[in-house]
């Protein structure tokens, strides 16, 4: 009995160590965007103002979800494993909401975002042939530390893919500046967030990051009769938003049946955390660019809107 209690205590300690330094999520504590921007986010947004950025394109936006984790303490011979089974459609929908929220947030603050349709119309982007889903597996260990193995699902917003590894990135790096210029943008954004499995399967937001590549400059290259413009970013892969520490939900999201979760409760916690982060970013950008006015998209008149030519009387 004593060994069982000791084993439970050790595994509980290992679970807490995984999110050491994190902050507990309480909706009322995250309701103030100014407070979130100051306490929970590391922000480096000044170039949005310095470079007078008016238009950006989001080329990557995905969530990384831990679906299985195993912690092994070799000294005690203990193994703790947990797995969460959620339909991939939920992960896709969550990332779509993050993408849509960020588009709305930037455009509310006067920075237009190139539409997905415009991105898809660019042949260079299509040639990248990016995947919208990736599976991952990571392990960590130390001399006196337990071995931790995580399995993850990377799920992108619908229509945009995930950048490839080192080898595949050569094609992206060599063409992304030219492509950004073709779309009339001042730079591009990459968005990534990570959700881990917490106590009683509650979500833990362990990362939220936005990278900016901008300061796009051109120079004429080639020889007489065959000259062209080459584009380069003078600011590249710069983190402008980063979550300082994990945000940990302690809500009881267990379902009615043993071993299940209540997806409505899970979603409320996760979207509450993500929404608080997004609102914090929006507050900081508005503080930086108070003179900016919201982007207004012109719509093409339709027959229902009475676009027919008036007839002579």
> Given this model, what pLDDT does residue 69 score?
83
The CA-atom distances, in angstroms, between 240 and each of 106, 136, 163, 212 are 13, 25, 19, 7
> Given this model, what pLDDT does residue 78 score?
67
- The reply to whether 297 falls in a domain is no
> What is the rounded distance in angstroms from the CA atom of residue 170 to the CA atom of residue 128?
10
Could you tell me the residue range of the domain that residue 171 belongs to? 17-283
Q: What is the 3-state secondary structure (H, E, C) of 227-259?
A: EEEEEEEEEEEEEEEEECCCEECCCCCECCCCC
- The reply to whether 4 falls in a domain is no
- The reply to whether 12 falls in a domain is no
> Given this model, what pLDDT does residue 13 score?
40
- The reply to whether 11 falls in a domain is no
> What is the rounded distance in angstroms from the CA atom of residue 122 to the CA atom of residue 184?
12
> Given this model, what pLDDT does residue 74 score?
58
> What is the rounded distance in angstroms from the CA atom of residue 87 to the CA atom of residue 109?
34
In the chain, how many domains are there? 1
- The reply to whether 293 falls in a domain is no
- The reply to whether 260 falls in a domain is yes
Alpha helices in the chain (DSSP H): 2-18, 33-39, 46-50, 88-108, 116-120, 123-128, 169-182, 263-288
> Given this model, what pLDDT does residue 20 score?
59
Look up the pTM and report it: 0.86
* Radius of gyration over every alpha carbon of the chain, rounded to an integer in angstroms: 23
- The reply to whether 3 falls in a domain is no
Which of the residues in the chain have pLDDT under 70? Answer: 1-20, 74-78, 138-145, 300-313
Q: Which residues contact 252 (CB under 8 A, 6 or more apart)?
A: 200, 202, 265
Question: pLDDT by residue (tens digit) across 24-62?
Answer: 999 999 999 999 999 999 999 999 999 999 999 999 999
Chain centroid to Cα 205, Å, comes to 11
- The reply to whether 108 falls in a domain is yes
Crossing angle of helices 263-288 and 88-108, in 10° steps, is 20
């Amino acid at each position: 009995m004593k060994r069982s209690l000791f084993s439970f205590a050790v595994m509980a300690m290992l679970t807490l160590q995984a999110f050491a330094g994190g902050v507990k999520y309480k909706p009322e504590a995250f309701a103030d965007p100014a407070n979130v921007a100051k306490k929970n986010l590391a922000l480096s947004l000044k170039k949005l103002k310095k470079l007078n950025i008016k238009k950006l394109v989001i080329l990557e936006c995905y969530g990384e979800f831990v679906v299985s984790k195993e912690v092994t303490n070799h000294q005690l011979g203990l193994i703790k494993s947990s797995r969460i089974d959620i339909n991939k459609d939920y992960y896709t929908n969550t990332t779509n909401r993050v993408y849509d929220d960020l588009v709305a947030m930037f455009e509310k603050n006067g920075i237009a975002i190139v539409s997905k349709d415009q991105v898809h119309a660019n042949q260079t982007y299509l040639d990248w042939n990016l995947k919208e889903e990736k599976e991952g597996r990571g392990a960590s260990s130390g001399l006196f530390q337990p071995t931790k193995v995580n399995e993850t699902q990377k799920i992108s917003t619908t229509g945009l893919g995930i950048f490839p590894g080192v080898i595949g990135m050569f094609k992206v790096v060599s063409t992304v500046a030219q492509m950004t210029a073709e779309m009339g943008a001042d730079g591009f954004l990459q968005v990534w967030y990570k959700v881990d499995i917490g106590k009683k399967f509650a979500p833990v937001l362990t990362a939220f990051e936005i990278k900016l590549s901008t300061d796009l400059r051109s120079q004429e290259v080639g020889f007489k009769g065959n000259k062209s413009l080459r584009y380069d970013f003078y600011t590249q892969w710069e983190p402008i938003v980063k979550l300082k520490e994990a945000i940990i939900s302690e809500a009881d999201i267990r379902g009615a049946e043993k071993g299940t979760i209540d997806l409505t409760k899970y979603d409320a916690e996760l979207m509450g955390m993500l929404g608080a982060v997004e609102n914090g970013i929006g507050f900081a950008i508005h503080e930086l660019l108070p003179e900016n006015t919201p982007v207004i998209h012109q719509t093409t008149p339709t027959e229902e809107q009475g676009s027919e030519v008036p007839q002579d009387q």
